[in-house]
Structure 1
Amino acid sequence: MASTTEYSDRESLGVGSIVGESFSILFKNFIAVILLALAPMLLSSIIAGAMVGADVALGVADPDFSTSTSVTTWVLTIVLQIVFYALTTALLVQLAYDSKLGRPLQLGRYFSPALRAALPIAILTTISSILAGFASLALIIPGIWVYAVFSVVAPAVVIEGAGFGGLGRSAALTKGYRWPIFGALLLVGICAGIVNFLAGVFAGVLADVGSWAMIVGFSIIAALSAGLTGISIALIYARLREIKEGVTVDQIASVFD
């Protein structure tokens, strides 16, 4: 793990500014963020519900680990949820830059670049999540730090076309700024965790309506936490490009024009 002095003589990342602007973009585009994040989040929840049951997918029931097949199915649902979460980030990267630049949002336009990058994002996000998971077996802090190293994989793949080199590109961009990225992600993660908790409560209110109603209700609220996370990653990526390469947000966003 890098020393705490690795970024001491460098330009500040601006953690407070990134977190504050993430919330600003979220609230400014509240409905658009929900609509954009809801599609992959809902699809993820529906697939997970079909594979392991709605109650297990929502975390209100324990998964069945009695057979190797059930364990494999549960692991696959976790991987699918990670992949869909990464694709949500890929969609929100574009929204974040349009909002930051004061440009009109074009939700339909965001899907094509994200889908083109879907395969490398899915594979690389799964790999980075496994690495972070192993690191978390020791302590939670190493896990988040590893996540910080690979935090900008999605924007690197979508914007730069880094493909399967996305892990290396993310590691290079985050080098020297992993502790402040850790701090930003921790703050955002706490807020996202609160939103997900509220989503679980809301889903519980819908229990009498049925399991699938619970999934829809949960996905709508959880789309907000996914939105906040995706926006913050987009802003972290933009700030790193600005500091290290002198690239402005409008130059980054120009790849979608």
Structure 2
Amino acid sequence: MADVGLSTSPVSPSQQTVRRASWVTRLVASPRFQSWAARFPLTRRIVRREGDAMFDLVAGFCHSQILQALVKLGIPDMLRTAQLDETALARAAAVPLARMRVLLAGGVAIGVLKQGRHGDYGLTVRGAALAGVPGLAGMIAHHDVLYRDLADPVAFFRGEVETELAAFWPYVFGAGAAADPDAAATYSQLMADSQTLVAADTLALADFGQTRSFMDVGGGTGAFLAAVGQQYPALALTLFDLPAVVDAAHDRFDALAHGGPADCSLWLIP
């Protein structure tokens, strides 16, 4: 009699890998296994680490909102030169003391602020880096654009909503969104601020001494190109970008002492 329902074909290594991965997934998802792993000495530290990571994942939105509130209220800038107590910070930011107390506790929790033994607040190393990186605070301050787009994340990923982000980040969501001069100016300023460190790192690694011409595609108002031109004044510079940024780009290169005013060519996408 022939066997019924039994496959005699060999299992491929890839199938074995898939089956093993599925088995591990089912095992880890089991509440019984999770309870055992949390008690077993060899897996207890892994469980604790994964639990902390899961909490950070769930609380990530709160972390970013706390960070945005700190930046928009100017708390990192206030603490760059001196430590201040909660009363002084609340008064300077025009925030009720009780609310400021909650915000400062949140800043300590996410590792941006630290509280001294006398109650004064200061910046941690991470907070000082946040305050000093050009353009970073500006990007954080504009996170609310993305937050509004993600108010209904399911509708967002199904493409059922018109996003504000499309107007703010034209290079990602289409050139047509860059027609608004205000949106283009805001975007270009953020990009220009963030290019300071990028330009310094790039020029420290790359040598353009033998280069005759240099084109920056999508370079905004030309912050990176200007840094290259200052270090290599013999270069012929070309900026290739959208019409909405042309005025600011002309202003930048008119002010740049690089072989005379506007000593570069600007290519624009119509």
Task: Please give the range of the TM-score, normalised by the shorter of the 2 chains.
Answer: under 0.3
More helix by share: 1
What TM-score results when the alignment is normalised by the length of structure 1? Answer: 0.23
Q: Give the number of the structure with larger relative contact order, counting CA–CA contacts within 8 Å between residues 6 or more apart.
A: 1
Larger Cα Rg: Structure 1 or Structure 2? 2
More strand by share: 2
